[in-house]
């Protein structure tokens, strides 16, 4: 990809977290928070050249007026501009450093695949599908995954909404021998497939284009799903079909404020809450399906 779009939003610090989340949701491949005591905080985000910049600018304007309506002081500036400087690709790389996650994982870009003692290095090329390992929802899922596997690796796992394949690859690296990675976006599945090869786990991870709402895999002892809360709500009944009795669901992409309600909603489908963690405003839930699933008719 040669050309990129750059978005810069200067805004008061209390609006930064929301702006960062918004930009990720719009498909940014990199989001950088720039803070210095001397100037107003800015958020800088990069979008692939294939992005419709007018459409992005319109969504940005809507979002900014939403912020004003919520009483935030207006961002001083919100711009979308083309970024064709070839040097930028290198500059951008500076922001993707190998990142240790949990106790045993390290997420690294291909240009910096350092080996770290005692850590499984997972190499992901930023900029294709969602799941570079930089986002708090991915980190949260990886941390829960690590703990679940530590307590005894299940034989199989299902990753719903695999994006770059990062969770499926981590599951395989951590010792799960049969992983199915599903996404309804064919580009993401292709990217996941390439990433499983780069990481030497293609034999353990199958990648499939399918909608989580209809995929028919039978039951699996561990289901990972880093999706958004409204989709989890709709899929809650499906989780009861897809997670084996006494199996585990790790659900990410849930804003902290949505966690209680969503957890209760899934629990009503025959799951018990086991653990949760919060990273940068995003909650990851871990639930266990009842061993006696038939005692919990689906509501």
Give the residue among 254, 235, 264, 34 at the shortest CA–CA distance from 136.
254
Question: Are residues 183 and 131 in contact, defined by beta-carbon separation less than 8 angstroms?
Answer: no
Question: Are residues 40 and 84 in contact, defined by beta-carbon separation less than 8 angstroms?
Answer: no
Q: Which is nearer to ligand SAH, 29 or 67 (by Cβ)?
A: 29
As a whole number of angstroms, the distance between CA 8 and CA 31 comes to: 10
In the chain, how long is the greatest CA-to-CA distance?
61
In the bound complex, what is the minimum distance in angstroms from residue 270's beta carbon to ligand SAH? 21
Residues in 217-256 at the binding interface with ligand SAH, rule: CB under 6 A: 226-227, 231
Question: Are residues 171 and 120 in contact, defined by beta-carbon separation less than 8 angstroms?
Answer: no
List residues bridging with 97 in a β-sheet: none
Among 21, 162, 196, 248, binds ligand SAH (CB under 6 A): 162
In this structure, the dihedral spanned by the alpha carbons of residues 179, 185, 190 and 196, taken in order and rounded to 10 degrees, is: -30
Q: Which is nearer to ligand SAH, 182 or 254 (by Cβ)?
A: 182
Binding-site string for ligand SAH from residue 107 to residue 146, where x marks contact by CB under 6 A and - marks none:
----------------------xxx------x--x-----
Residues in 164-183 at the binding interface with ligand SAH, rule: CB under 6 A: 166-167, 182-183
Question: Are residues 184 and 126 in contact, defined by beta-carbon separation less than 8 angstroms?
Answer: no
Measured over the CA atoms of residue 87, residue 89, residue 93 and residue 94, the dihedral's sign is positive
Among 35, 211, 256, 280, binds ligand SAH (CB under 6 A): 211
In the bound complex, what is the minimum distance in angstroms from residue 216's beta carbon to ligand SAH? 13
List residues bridging with 288 in a β-sheet: 248, 272
Q: Which is nearer to ligand SAH, 231 or 274 (by Cβ)?
A: 231
Residue 283, Cβ neighbours under 10 Å: how many?
Answer: 24
Instruction: Write down how long the chain is.
Output: 299
Tell whether residue 75 is a contact of ligand SAH (CB under 6 A). Answer: no
Q: Which is nearer to ligand SAH, 75 or 109 (by Cβ)?
A: 109
Among 188, 250, 254, 287, binds ligand SAH (CB under 6 A): 188
In the bound complex, what is the minimum distance in angstroms from residue 197's beta carbon to ligand SAH? 17
Q: Which is nearer to ligand SAH, 126 or 154 (by Cβ)?
A: 126
Which residues here bind ligand SAH, judged by CB under 6 A?
129-131, 138, 141, 160-163, 166-167, 182-185, 188, 211-213, 226-227, 231
């Amino acid at each position: 990809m040669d050309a990129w779009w750059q978005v810069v939003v200067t805004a008061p610090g209390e609006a930064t977290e929301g702006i960062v989340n918004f930009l990720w949701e719009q498909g940014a491949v990199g989001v950088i928070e720039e803070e210095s005591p001397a100037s107003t905080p800015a958020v800088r985000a990069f979008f692939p050249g294939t992005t419709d910049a007018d459409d992005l600018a319109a969504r940005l304007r809507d979002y900014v007026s939403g912020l004003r309506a919520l009483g935030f002081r207006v961002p001083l500036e919100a711009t979308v501009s083309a970024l064709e400087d070839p040097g930028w690709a290198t500059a951008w790389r500076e922001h993707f450093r190998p990142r240790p996650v949990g106790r045993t994982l390290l997420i690294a870009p291909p240009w910096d695949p350092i080996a770290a003692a005692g850590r499984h290095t997972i190499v992901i090329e930023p900029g294709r599908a969602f799941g570079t390992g930089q986002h708090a929802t991915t980190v949260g899922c990886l941390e829960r995954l690590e703990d679940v596997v530590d307590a005894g690796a299940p034989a199989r796992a299902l990753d719903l909404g695999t994006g770059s394949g990062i969770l499926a690859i981590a599951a395989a690296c951590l010792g799960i021998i049969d992983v199915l990675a599903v996404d309804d976006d064919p580009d993401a599945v292709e990217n996941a497939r390439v990433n499983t090869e780069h990481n030497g786990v293609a034999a353990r991870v199958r990648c499939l284009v399918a909608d989580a709402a209809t995929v028919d895999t039978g039951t699996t002892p561990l289901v990972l799903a880093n999706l958004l809360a409204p989709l989890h709500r709709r899929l809650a009944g499906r989780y009861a079909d897809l997670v084996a009795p006494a199996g585990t669901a790790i659900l990410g992409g849930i804003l902290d404020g949505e966690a209680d309600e969503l957890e209760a909603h899934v629990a009503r489908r025959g799951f018990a809450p086991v653990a949760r963690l919060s990273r940068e405003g995003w909650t990851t839930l871990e639930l266990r399906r009842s061993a006696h699933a038939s005692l919990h008719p689906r509501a």
